[in-house]
Amino acid sequence: MTDLTRRSLVASGLALTAAPVTGRPAVAPPAPWGATPSARQWAWHRRERYAFVHFSINTFTDKEWGYGDESPALFDPSDFDPDQIVAAAKSAGLTGIILTAKHHDGFCLWPTMLTDHCIRHSPYRNGHGDIVGEMERAVRRAGLAFGLYLSPWDRNHADYGRPAYVEYYRKQVVELCTRYGTLFEFWFDGANGGDGYYGGARETRKIDAPRYYDWPSIVALVHRHQPMACTFDPLGSDIRWVGNEDGVAGDPCWPTMPDHPYVQAEGNSGVRGAPLWWPAETDVSIRPGWFYHPDEDARVKSPDRLIRLYDESVGRGTNLNLNIPPDRRGRIADPDCAALTSFGTAMRTTFATDLAAGAVAQASAERSSAFAAARVLDGDRESYWSTPDGVTDPSLVLDLPPGRTFDLVRLREYLPLGARVTRFAVDAEIDGRWQTLAEHDGIGAQRMIRLPRPIAPRRLRLRILAAPVCPAISEIALFRQAAPAPVPVARISDPGVLASAGWSIAAASGGEAHRLIDGDTATAWVVPAPTPGAPASVTIDLGVTVALAGFKLTPSRAVMTGAAPPRGYVAETSGDGQHWSVAATGEFPNIAYALATQRIAFAEPRAARFLRLRFDAVAVPAARLAIAELGAFTRAPVRLRQ
Q: Tell me which residue range forms the domain holding 451.
A: 354-479
- What are the residues whose beta carbons fall under 8 Å from the beta carbon of 292, sequence distance 6 or more? 54, 55, 59, 325, 326, 327, 328, 333
Say yes or no: 179 and 223 in one domain.
yes
pLDDT of residue 8: 38
Eight-state DSSP code of residue 57: T
Q: What is the pLDDT of residues 417-456, one digit of tens each?
A: 999 999 999 999 999 999 999 999 999 999 999 999 999 9
Say yes or no: 306 and 400 in one domain.
no
How far is Cα 223 from Cα 182, in angstroms, rounded to an integer? 11
CATH of residue 597's domain is 2.60.120.260
Say yes or no: 64 and 123 in one domain.
yes
382 in a domain, yes or no? Answer: yes
How far is Cα 327 from Cα 81, in angstroms, rounded to an integer? 11
13 in a domain, yes or no? Answer: no
30 in a domain, yes or no? Answer: no
Say yes or no: 342 and 358 in one domain.
no
641 in a domain, yes or no? Answer: no
20 in a domain, yes or no? Answer: no
How many other CB atoms are found less than 10 A from the CB of residue 441?
18
Say yes or no: 128 and 250 in one domain.
yes
Q: pLDDT at residue 32 above 80? A: yes
Of 329, 350, 371, the domain-final residue: 350
Q: What is the pLDDT of residues 457-496, one digit of tens each?
A: 999 999 999 999 999 999 999 999 999 999 988 776 677 8
Which helix or strand (DSSP H or E) is residue 339 part of?
A: helix 334-350
Average pLDDT over residues 6-31: 54
CATH of residue 297's domain is 3.20.20.80
pLDDT of residue 456: 97
Mean pLDDT is lowest, of 6-20, 62-76, 184-198, 277-291, for: 6-20
Say yes or no: 415 and 529 in one domain.
no
489 in a domain, yes or no? Answer: no
pLDDT band at 639 (very low <50, low <70, confident <90, very high): very low
Say yes or no: 53 and 195 in one domain.
yes
Give me the number of domains the chain comprises: 3
pLDDT of residue 295: 87
How far is Cα 637 from Cα 564, in angstroms, rounded to an integer? 26
Question: Mean pLDDT, the chain, as a whole number?
Answer: 93
Q: What is the pLDDT of residues 271-320, one digit of tens each?
A: 999 999 999 999 999 998 899 999 899 889 999 999 999 999 999 999 99
Q: pLDDT at residue 623 above 90? A: yes
537 in a domain, yes or no? Answer: yes
Q: What is the pTM of this model?
A: 0.89
pLDDT of residue 521: 83
pLDDT of residue 590: 72
Q: Is 287 helix (H, G, I), strand (E, B) or coil?
A: coil
Say yes or no: 399 and 534 in one domain.
no
pLDDT of residue 213: 97
pLDDT of residue 25: 72
145 in a domain, yes or no? Answer: yes
How far is Cα 574 from Cα 582, in angstroms, rounded to an integer? 9
Of 317, 350, 383, the domain-final residue: 350
Average pLDDT over residues 84-100: 98
Of 307, 330, 350, the domain-final residue: 350
pLDDT of residue 326: 98
Say yes or no: 358 and 345 in one domain.
no
DSSP letters, 232-279, are ESSTTSSBEE-S-SBS---SS--SEE-SSS--HHHHTT--TT-SEE--
Q: pLDDT at residue 237 above 60? A: yes
Say yes or no: 366 and 339 in one domain.
no
How far is Cα 474 from Cα 477, in angstroms, rounded to an integer? 10
Say yes or no: 279 and 409 in one domain.
no
pLDDT of residue 636: 53
pLDDT of residue 491: 74
Q: Return phi, psi of residue 200, to 5°.
A: 105, -5
Single out the residue of 162, 75, 54 nearest to residue 126, CA to CA: 75
Say yes or no: 327 and 407 in one domain.
no
pLDDT of residue 637: 46
Average pLDDT over residues 38-52: 98
Average pLDDT over residues 589-600: 81
Q: Is 307 helix (H, G, I), strand (E, B) or coil?
A: helix
Q: pLDDT at residue 640 above 50? A: no
